[in-house]
Amino acid sequence: MATDVKVPTLGESITEATLGQWLKKPGEPVKADEPIASLETDKVAVEVPAPVAGIMGAHAVAEGDTVNVGAVIAVIEAGSGAAAPAPAAAAPAAQTPASLKAADPVPEPALRSDAAPAAATEEDDGSPLTLSPAVRRLVLELGVDPSGIKGTGKDGRLTKDDVLAAAKTAPKAAPAPAAAAAPSATAPAAAATGERREERVRMTRLRQTVARRLKEAQNTAAMLTTFNDVDMTAVIEARARYKDLFEKKHGVRLGFMGFFVKAACMALKDIPAVNASIDGDDIVYHDYADISVAVSAPNGLVVPVIRDAQSLSVAGIEKTIGDFGKRAKDGTLKMDEMKGGTFTISNGGVFGSLMSTPIINPPQSAVLGLHRIEDRPVVRDGQVVVRPMMYLALSYDHRLIDGREAVTFLVALKNAIEDPTRLLIDL
């Protein structure tokens, strides 16, 4: 008796997704609730669990196909036998990731699943490994053998940190002589010096959504960016003084984002227009601060939301951001965590950005851009001194927020960061 595998409910207003990757092949044994496929939605990647234990049956859709919620994508046959032998057509999978990258062109699904070396998809006991899309992509990029890596994730599954650690310690392997001598019908010979190559890869659904929303923001909002700078001396000293005690008590590192989120909440309270949005001919003001925090994920930028950030302590904010960052790398953020938000903070400084003009995240009306900290000469009390300075950028919808309000918001934020005592006494 076969059991249908259907596309699960993906969240409010989301009716379709893209079949990003099959994690189980026909004939392989599966356990109940074991991930068998990965779906890419407009915001996050979602794993499809097996409804029952049995043998993976036929795939009803291919990787890259669009599927609707409730659609049947595969079947699971009754039984618990060993996996069926791999078909002969799978032989080209034994080529190395490097040769795959040289192929011209190579579709994205091949880079993410079937292109993995045969030894990289089986454990020592011969049973197949189950890799998440992010981990599988990293395995291919780094050219490591996952069968020799000890997983630290749930049920012993590999995480990105496991793969990165293994890549750092693994010696660079020389190409096998047999592989060099064997003719290849699917990968061209090594490119000659100066040869130009191209690779065409289909945009992921997440990247398509990001591109569409950013362009919509430019087309709809009257965007303007105002800049200021902030002296980070006081925050750096406070962090250096209390970071060990903070981590010991709260179990999380004390970073700069906790200070900026608290300072932003105070400034939003004083300048409510920056925390508002436009709905038709109405302005919607919010008496709460749901702060969207831009986080880098394997498939692009995601923006989870810190709910009621105005009510959280610095420790609560740091814990929430740390959890978001970890789960963004693992691809386990939930749909509800990406919805809403009244104001966005994007920290390009972690990548070395000196200055930028961030684009607002509709229907929000403003976004704060943080940048790298660098020592610069400034004048204090008539003397030129060196201070750790950071540029701040506030991009906003000029239809709702006037220049006076934007500047006032940045000054309030600057004052709170330069004198963190203000955060304690709400000044």
The structure tokens 């994920």 sit at: 297
Are the C-beta atoms of residues 341 and 365 closer than 8 Å to each other? no
Q: What are the angstrom distances between the C-alpha of 354 and each of 264, 374, 392, 394?
A: 20, 9, 10, 14
- Kindly provide the b/e burial profile for residues 78-102, where b requires at least 16 CB atoms within 10 angstroms of the residue's own CB: eeeeebeeeeeeeeebebbbebbbb
State how far Cα 64 lies from the chain centre: 20
For the question of residue 402 being annotated catalytic, the response is yes
* From 33, 270, 308, 398, the catalytic residue: 398
Q: Which residues pair with 305 in a beta bridge?
A: 292
Cα gap 40→17, rounded to integer Å: 6
Give the helix/strand (H/E) hosting 34. none
* From 330, 402, 419, 426, the catalytic residue: 402
Please spell the DSSP secondary structure of 342-379, one letter per residue: SEEEEEGGGGT-----PPP-TTBSEEEEEEEEEEEEEE
Residue 394 main-chain phi, psi, to 5 deg? -115, 110
Q: What are the angstrom distances between the C-alpha of 65 and each of 16, 20, 73, 211, 249?
A: 10, 8, 10, 20, 48
Q: What's the distance, Cα to Cα, between the start and end of the chain in Å?
A: 68
Pairing of strands 383-397, 366-380: antiparallel
Collect all residues with Cβ–Cβ distance below 8 Å to 15 and sequence separation of at least 6: 68, 69
For the question of residue 250 being annotated catalytic, the response is no
Cα gap 320→336, rounded to integer Å: 14
Number of neighbours of residue 121 by Cβ within 10 angstroms:
22
Q: Could you say which DSSP state residue 335 is in?
A: G
The structure tokens 């006991």 sit at: 125
Active site residues: 398, 402
